[in-house]
Amino acid sequence: MIFIPKTVRCILTLLTLFIAIRFAPFSVTGFHICESEAPKLGGVLPICKSKDKSHHLICFGGIGEEWSFGLRSKYLRILTLCEWPDINFDPETLLRNFPSLKSLSLFNGSITNILRPFPIEAQNVEKLVIIGTRLRHLSDGILRNLSALQILDLRYNSFSEINPENFNSTSLQTVYLFGNPWKCRREMAWILESGMDYLSNKIIDKADLRCSVPYEGRPLIPVVEIIVVLGDECQRTVCECQLAYVYGRVDRLIQKQLKAFVSVNCSNRGLTEMPSFLPANTTVLQLSENKITDLSPLATNAVYRFVQDLYLDHNLVESISLLDGTHWLENFRLLNLRNNKLTDLPTYALEHALPQNINSARLYLGHNPWRCDCLFTPGFQDFLIRYANLVKDINDIRCSAVEADEIANKQIRELTRTEICISPEEDYWLLPLDVLNATLAFLIFLVLGKLLYDYLCFKRTGKLPWIVTKIP
């Protein structure tokens, strides 16, 4: 006997274990049979081989007529079909000829559709394996005649949903569903039920299942859990709720760190105030086309703390002054206030909050009846120019239609100071500065005139001006 030190044996065991675990999802049982027994290139399909004293038949590209009848098929125990060439698969015509069959496997191939239920002749089948096909639907009751079925392996197909009733048979204990593009929706909620009596309990690999779009690659169970909770919370609102995005590492151990981003649509619901309850993790909130006037919940109600995108267009908001200094103003990502009743803004509050905002906020302020006067507008104009990249609809920010004719509906960005600060009706000459201007100009001319007069006098008479004689 060869002596192997204990440590080496230990390492070898660990290595085997590692390889087994690492490659487990890929080494699908039986897959290798199709590869190892594959016919040489150029063979005419379908082609079949029998193994294990003719108890096991492996066929490529369909099944030949010669195998469908007679004594050989009567005692066949295991049937492996590699690369089934047709999109349809009809168990009834096929299995009628194999009454002793215990195991049926279909690997790869074009199957998208199982035409008819499994026939009563398939009642001895204990293991059904369909792997690597394009199958995406199992009709209800299609497996009902498989009264001895124990193992159902449906890995790597195109299932996006499945009716768990298909697993409701007392003999069936083990189901594999990994590698399918599951649609994570509320309809999948059955898989969350745990307990001996539940069908979900038969799915051995349920913790490994993954969602397809829009939650590509996220673990199915926690995502469906989030969706179910969201659905319940949404019932308490008048809105539509949607799990927009799930952020998180795909790693199985980190499942608990998933982060949900919920989008809630309460547009056009006749709301007169902002909802006092929102589903947890709401990040996008649509409140367009309501009759909301008051934004104070943003400052006071904690459910708005994580709302990043707020659509309030087509409402009756008159002021956002109470957002001054709030957590919300420093953290929002998008605020849409188009078509409201805003006449002015606390620009100092925004100028304080926006540089702190890590989300590089976007603002929409167009189509409001903005006040255009010398008090508010110059500061607002400065603000618009300084934050032109954040204010997305700057061309729609115009003076209200009730302003003086010259500036009504004019773009605020384009206004000149004179347009804002000097009203044309006032008498130009009576303005104090201009009076001073004129007086000073008059005095300058007076001094220059006197100088000229004194000079001419001196030249003609030699008399010095009176003032010069007085200077010592």
168 near ligand NAG, judged by CB under 6 A: yes
Q: Give the nearer residue to ligand NAG in terms of CB position, either 167 or 370.
A: 167
Place of tokens 């199915």: 220
CA-CA-CA-CA torsion for 213, 216, 218, 222, nearest 10 degrees?
0
286 near ligand NAG, judged by CB under 6 A: yes
Given 46, 132, 179, 275, the residue binding ligand NAG (CB under 6 A): 132
- Peptide bond just before 46 cis, omega within 30 deg: yes
**DSSP per-residue codes, 1-69:** -----HHHHHHHHHHHHHHHHHTTTTS-TTHHHHHHTPPPTTPPSSEEEEETTTTEEEEESS--GGGSS
226 near ligand NAG, judged by CB under 6 A: yes
120 near ligand NAG, judged by CB under 6 A: yes
Phi, psi dihedrals of residue 99, rounded to the nearest 5°? -70, -20
268 near ligand NAG, judged by CB under 6 A: yes
Q: Give the nearer residue to ligand NAG in terms of CB position, either 29 or 267.
A: 267
Q: Which stretch binds ligand NAG (CB under 6 A): 41-49, 210-218, 280-288, 388-396?
A: 280-288
35 near ligand NAG, judged by CB under 6 A: yes
3-state secondary structure of 438: helix
93 near ligand NAG, judged by CB under 6 A: no
Q: Could you tell me the smallest distance in angstroms from the CB atom of residue 309 to ligand NAG?
A: 11
Place of tokens 């989008």: 263
Phi, psi dihedrals of residue 333, rounded to the nearest 5°? -115, -35
327 near ligand NAG, judged by CB under 6 A: no
- Whole-angstrom Cα distance, residue 235 to residue 39? 59
27 near ligand NAG, judged by CB under 6 A: no
Q: Which stretch binds ligand NAG (CB under 6 A): 172-180, 260-268, 383-391, 418-426?
A: 260-268
The answer to whether 124 touches 97, Cβ cutoff 8 Å, is no
258 near ligand NAG, judged by CB under 6 A: yes
**DSSP per-residue codes, 123-189:** GG--EEEEESS------TTTTTT-TT--EEE-TTS--S---GGGG--SS--EEE-TTS-B--SGGGG
- Which residues is 363 bridged to in the sheet? 335, 391
108 near ligand NAG, judged by CB under 6 A: yes
- Whole-angstrom Cα distance, residue 120 to residue 350? 74
What is the footprint of ligand NAG within residues 349-388 (CB under 6 A)?
none
**In the structure encoding, which two tokens stand for residue 106, read together?**
């279909």
Q: Give the nearer residue to ligand NAG in terms of CB position, either 35 or 427.
A: 35
144 near ligand NAG, judged by CB under 6 A: yes
82 near ligand NAG, judged by CB under 6 A: yes
Q: Give the nearer residue to ligand NAG in terms of CB position, either 108 or 343.
A: 108
Given 73, 80, 105, 145, the residue binding ligand NAG (CB under 6 A): 145
Parallel, antiparallel, or unpaired: how do β-strands 259-265 and 240-247 relate? antiparallel
Q: Could you tell me the smallest distance in angstroms from the CB atom of residue 319 to ligand NAG?
A: 26
Given 163, 281, 308, 411, the residue binding ligand NAG (CB under 6 A): 281
- How long is the chain? 472
Q: Give the nearer residue to ligand NAG in terms of CB position, either 120 or 299.
A: 120
Q: Which stretch binds ligand NAG (CB under 6 A): 117-125, 315-323, 351-359, 403-411?
A: 117-125
Q: Give the nearer residue to ligand NAG in terms of CB position, either 144 or 392.
A: 144
- Whole-angstrom Cα distance, residue 184 to residue 178? 14
- Whole-angstrom Cα distance, residue 27 to residue 21? 10
Given 267, 331, 357, 400, the residue binding ligand NAG (CB under 6 A): 267
Q: Could you tell me the smallest distance in angstroms from the CB atom of residue 286 to ligand NAG?
A: 6
Q: Give the nearer residue to ligand NAG in terms of CB position, either 20 or 422.
A: 422
Q: Could you tell me the smallest distance in angstroms from the CB atom of residue 31 to ligand NAG?
A: 6
What residues contact residue 335 under an 8 Å CB cut-off, 6+ apart?
A: 310, 312, 361, 362, 363, 364
Instruction: By CB under 6 A, name the binding residues for ligand NAG.
Output: 31, 34-35, 82, 92, 107-108, 117, 119-120, 132, 141, 144-145, 165, 168, 199, 226, 258-260, 265, 267-268, 280-281, 286, 433-434, 437
